[in-house]
Amino acid sequence: MEITTRSCVVSGKEDVSVIQQNVIWNNQETLVEIVRGGICGSDLHYYQEGKVGNFQVKQPMILGHEVIGRVVATDSPDLQKGQRVAINPSRPCGQCKYCLNHEENQCTTMRFFGSAMYFPHVDGGFTQYKVVDTAQCVPYAEHADDKIVAFAEPLAVAIHAAHQAGDLEGKRVFISGVGPIGCLIAAAVRTLGAAEVVCADISERSRQLAQEMGATQTVDAKNGDFTAWEEEKGYFDIAFEVSGNAASVQRCIAVTRARGVLVQVGMGGNIPDFPLMNIIAKELVLKGSFRFTTEFSTAVNWLSNNTINPLPLLSAEYPFTDLENALKFAGDKTRAAKVQLVF
């Protein structure tokens, strides 16, 4: 079926009928009415700077990749009209060597919601209706809270990062940078059995949120004393660097014990004086973490079953018609952690 996302930005039920009448449906696509969506840091970068990394916005683009909705129409026997679904924003090709090896997050032609990586750009989910691959729809229980399930995408990122670290049972964990993703990593590692979770951030508000999300201790990243954790080649079994800041990376290396694991989640610029010798001498395992694969379904399941409660992170809700003010509020990190649009 060929239909553009922009064609699905419709204003009423009559428009939906027109879409349904003029589309040849197959078993691979589903029309979803969006009901809620979270604003991510990449959405803010596109809004504030017109780019994310090297991906420059060259045409009007719909933002949003943290969305949930209800099925309007589908030919899939696994979905029903009116069914509530979280939408996985990843659309891998399914044919490259990574997809064939179940490593879809490394797909060489991944089309991810709300991305200027390609031209024409890939529109996101901040639209009233959206056609998606049926495989992107993950159903969730009718009794589940929409505002909780709308955290599925960032929680999937957090669970994938936790999986990169390996076995977490009984481990001592350090997390540097506790914005929404860092806080969700704290919740995920506790769920997966971590015994001790210490979180560092320069923001007192972020540290408080981390405490609510599962941290056993928090410390001021700027003025705190890390000396005891740096002695004897480090203390923590696993560290997650989630800020992308060079000083934060160096601290993670310093506090991780010899032969420990450092998972790099935060995206930052190049680090000219990267302490490579410390990685070598301590025999640290350095792993990157990028998006997610099967963890999206795991996240939906955890949220539907109240395994994790992400609501301490929800700072505000805005009607979708007030997107600009929602983006402005979300950009104020002294007040906002996660902001959701309600459709």
Q: pLDDT tens across 17-72, in order?
A: 333 333 333 448 999 999 999 999 999 999 999 999 889 999 999 999 999 999 99
What pLDDT shows up at residue 147? 98
What is the pLDDT averaged over residues 166-177? 98
The mean pLDDT of the chain is 92
CA dist 58 and 64 (Å) reads 17
What pLDDT shows up at residue 90? 97
Residues spanned by CATH 3.40.50.720 within the chain? 158-288
Is residue 195 over pLDDT 80? Answer: yes
CB 308 within 8 A of CB 4: no
**Predicted model pTM:** 0.91
Is residue 291 over pLDDT 90? Answer: yes
What pLDDT shows up at residue 21? 34
CB 48 within 8 A of CB 28: no
What pLDDT shows up at residue 53? 86
What pLDDT shows up at residue 8? 34
What is the pLDDT averaged over residues 113-139? 97
Strand partners, 288: 264
HSE-up (13 A, CA, CB side) for residue 250: 10
Where does the pLDDT of residue 163 fall: very low under 50, low under 70, confident under 90, or very high at 90 and above?
Answer: very high
Q: Measure CA 239 to chain center.
A: 19
Q: pLDDT tens across 134-146, in order?
A: 999 999 999 999 9
The domain over range 5-151+310-342 is classified in CATH as 3.90.180.10: yes
**Helix, coil or strand: residue 71:** strand
What is the pLDDT averaged over residues 271-280? 91
Q: Name the CATH superfamily for 158-288.
A: NAD(P)-binding Rossmann-like Domain (3.40.50.720)
Entry field: residues in the chain: 343
Residues spanned by CATH 3.90.180.10 within the chain? 5-151+310-342
Is residue 231 over pLDDT 90? Answer: yes
Strand partners, 201: 220
What is the pLDDT averaged over residues 239-257? 97
Is residue 13 over pLDDT 70? Answer: no
Where does the pLDDT of residue 270 fall: very low under 50, low under 70, confident under 90, or very high at 90 and above?
Answer: confident
CA dist 162 and 184 (Å) reads 10
CA neighbor of 59 nearest in space, from 16, 5, 110, 107: 5
